[in-house]
Amino acid sequence: MSIDIHGVLAPGYEPLRAAFEENFAQRGELGAAFALIRDGEIICDFHAGWADRARTRAWGDDTLVPVFSSGKAVTALVMAWLVDQGRLDYEAPVSALWPDFAAEGKGAVTIAQALSHQAGLPGPVDGIEPADWFDREKMEAHFAAMAPMWTPGDGSGYHPLSFGVLADAIARRADTNGRSVGSILREVIAGPRGIDCHIGLPEDQHARAAEHVLPPRAPDLGTITPETKAAFLNPGSSPGRRGAAAWRSAELPAANAHATALSLARLMAPFACEGRLDGEAFLGREALSAALKPRTAGPDRVLPFDLSFAAGVMINRDSAAFGPEPRAVGHYGFGGSCVFADPERGLSGAYVMNRQMDVLVGDDRAKALIEAAYACL
């Protein structure tokens, strides 16, 4: 199978193109893009395939992709900016900003714990319908009142969607203008720099978004526990019943960032390049160190993995999910998307696609590209 690949690739990185071609020839790719940046230099930014299931719309350099949980890393960057601005302290209790959150013994839960999936609120247990996720105030009130499902701070239990509710509630109460995560991204970080990443996609941009092909089967969630049910399987565990347009337009900071691969690689650069974004100072040393500090490690209560989290990003350790560097951080998204940052090598990258697979972490297509990238260094 031959595939037309469009974009740029630096000399010496030809194995990246070969790996990208193999994803189409051997791994069932429909449409995809990959971008890699090192110390501010774009190493590659290429795309190929189709943006729709019917194969009538070619993937372009401005095709946007919903990247699901890979967007958590973007939210983590927004929160780190708030810390750098002196508006947040990772060690402060959430309840200092949001007093209602102290209910049911959550008064001591820190912002760092909330961002590292340790708050004990992986999803709603009852009383929530899919359409309720589009009601910001209702979801905030629900999780503020909810009793934690384990002792907060006693290890992680992945919060697939509630992570975004908590982060956004904290951000709006911390920001001097009361802005949401999506608004800060648009007004302060991405918008002024022309970075094509959105949490809350304007309706006039919906036509640029790729269509997804769902995975062939549901991901393996391991042993189904009450925490797993709350996170993924209860009737109100995820948003729905409002249609695709409403979902794209909503601000769901844990789950519906829309972006190009290059925009995500640029946004991951501060985590790889001592706080620099597009080569300019963005995060100070102290805020960056606090953002990337390991907050928890061990068996996760929701996902069937041994995981380590910083304040909103996964830490690679020896998993090889983000390449060979243990200090690398990043995130995977439902279906296979991936963002990563390697602070040892000044390397950041992103893989986005529209044919979803049933792998939760470590999609073979993303790993093939990351492994090819490191082989070229």
252 burial via Cβ count (<10 Å: 0-12, 13-18, 19+): buried
Please work out, in degrees rounded to the nearest 5, the angle formed at the alpha carbon of residue 265 by the alpha carbons of 15 and 344: 75
CB 270 within 8 A of CB 284: no
Neighbours of 129 (CB within 10 A): 14
Is the separation of the CB atoms in 273 and 281 below 8 Å?
Answer: no
CA distance 212 to 219: 16
Alpha helices in the chain (DSSP H): 14-26, 71-84, 94-97, 111-115, 136-145, 162-174, 181-184, 226-228, 244-249, 261-272, 285-292, 364-376
Q: Say how far apart CA 239 and CA 31 lie, in whole Å.
A: 25
Residue 44: strand, helix, or coil: strand
Rounded to whole angstroms, how far apart are CA atoms 63 and 44? 16
* Structure-block tokens of residue 247: 């979902």
Is there a catalytic annotation at residue 69?
yes
CA 49 to chain centre: 23
Q: Which of 2, 69, 237, 289 is catalytic?
A: 69
Q: How far is residue 366's CA from residue 16's CA, in Å, rounded to a whole number? A: 11
Residues whose CB falls within 8 Å of the CB of residue 232, separated by 6 or more in sequence, listed in order:
123, 160, 221, 238, 302
Catalytic residues: 69
